[in-house]
Amino acid sequence: MQPFQVNIPQSILDDLRARLAHTRWPAEPTRADWQQGTSPAYLRELLTYWQHDFDWRQQEAQLNQVARFHTMIEGTALHFIHERGRGPRPLPLLLSHGWPDSSWQFLKLIPLLTDPAAHGGRAEDAFDVVVPDLPGFGFSTPLPPTGSFAGHSASRLQQLMTTTLGYTRYGAHGSDVGSLVTERLALDYASSLSGMHLTGVPFTRLFVPPTDPSTEEQQYLTASQHWLAQHATYATLQANEPNTLVPGLRDSPAGLAAWLLDKFRAWSDCDGNLETRFSKEELLTNLTLYWATDTIGSSFAPYYQGDQVPQGLGAPKIEVPTGFTTFAQDLLRAPRSFAERFYNVQQWIEVPAGGHFPALEEPTALAESIRTFFRPLR
C-alpha cells in the first residue's frame, strides 16, 4: 500500500485544451434545448468554460486534501481514499460509487461521516471511511475481461478492507453500480459486514419480477418497464455495443461531455437546470477525471460484465441488516415491500428531495441516514 497523489501530466491537459479548441460543432442543431439529448447551447457554453476558465490544478489540490493510496489486489491496481474518523470508536465504512462518476462523488460526504461532531452530529457516530475507485474507474485499473464485475470487485474490496487495512468487520454503502457491488459483499462475505446501506433496490431485481406483486409493487414494475423502454438506450449500448461507443467518447471531449452531462441532468433533482445542483467546476472535474484517466471504456464493464447471481424469487435473501435511503427524484424507486422480498430491511427513509447522485445533491441527509442506520450495529 503506497500513498497516492492526483497529478495529471501537463501534456494531457494541453492536449485536452487543444481538442476543445478544435471542436467540430454542428452547423444547425435540430433543437437547442434538451429534448433530443444534451443541449447544444449548454454544451458549447460548458466546453468554452472548460477550455478557457476551468482551473484543473485548483481542483486537483482539493482532491489531494484527503488521504489517498494505491495497492495491488488480485492483479488490479486499486486506488482508494482512507480517512480516519474523529470519535471514540469509529466504525469502518466502505463507500462504493456508481456510473458515471468515481470516488470523487463522495468528497462532500466524507467529512460528515468522519467528523460528525463538527457537522451537527455526535462524535460516537464517527466512521473510518474507505472510498475506492471501482476497478476500471478513476485511478483503478480494469478487471479481467470475463466474469462478473460485481463479484470480482467485491472480492477485491473484501481483501482491501480485511487484509490490506486490517478491519475484521465493517459497514458498506453503495449507490447505482456500487449497490450491486455492496450486495455481492453481503452475499459472499456476510460475516464481515455489520450492515449495508443502499440508496435504492438494484435494477437487476427487475429482471425476474414477482408473480404475486401488490398493487404498489405492480405500479413500480409498470413504471420501471416504461422507464427502461424509454430511457435505457444508454445501458443497452454500453452493454452490447461498447466498442461502437468508446472510440468517439475517448477521442472527443465534446462527445464525452455530451454523453455524461445528459445523465447528470436527467437523473438529478435539478428541475431541468444542471447548475442548480452541480457547479461547472463539479461537472468539469468529473469530466476531466474520465478524460485524463481514459476510463470511459472500462467504466462500461458493469454493463457488459453483468452479475450472474440469481435475482428473482429463487435468489437467496440477504440476511445482513440493510438500510435504505431513497431520494424523491431518483430513478426506479421501489416500495419497501419489494425490497423486503430480498433484504433484511431494518431502516427505510424517504428523503423529499435529491436524485440519483445523493452524495453530491443531498450529502447532509445521506450522512444523517447512514449514521442513524449504523448506530445500533456498532
Query: Which three three-digit cell numbers place residue 63?
Result: 482532491
- Does 356 participate in catalysis according to the annotation? yes
Cell readout for 285 is 472535474
From the list 378, 274, 288, the residue with the least C-alpha distance to 43 is 274
Question: Does 173 participate in catalysis according to the annotation?
Answer: no
Burial class (CB in 10 A: 0-12, 13-18, 19+), 304: middle
Q: How far apart are CA 143 and CA 137, in angstroms?
A: 10
H helices of the chain, where?
10-21, 40-52, 56-63, 110-114, 149-159, 177-188, 215-231, 233-240, 242-251, 253-267, 280-293, 301-304, 336-339, 358-361, 363-374
Over the Cα atoms of the chain, what is R_g?
20
**Annotated active-site residue in 82, 152, 173, 356:** 356
- Alpha-carbon torsion, ordered 27, 30, 36, 38, to 10 deg: 20
| Residue 290 annotated to the active site | no
Catalytic residue among 220, 290, 303, 343: 303
How many angstroms separate the CA atoms of 307 and 179, rounded? 12
Buried b (16+ CB within 10 A) or exposed e, 230-254: eebebeeebbeebeebbeebbebbb
Q: Which of 125, 176, 262, 269 is catalytic?
A: 176
CB 287 within 8 A of CB 50: yes
What's the 3-state SS for 237-281?
Answer: HHHHCHHHHHHHHHHCHHHHHHHHHHHHHHHCCCCCCHHHCCCHH
What is the C-alpha to C-alpha distance for residues 69 and 28, in angstroms, rounded to an integer?
47
User: Annotated catalytic sites, by residue?
Assistant: 176, 303, 356
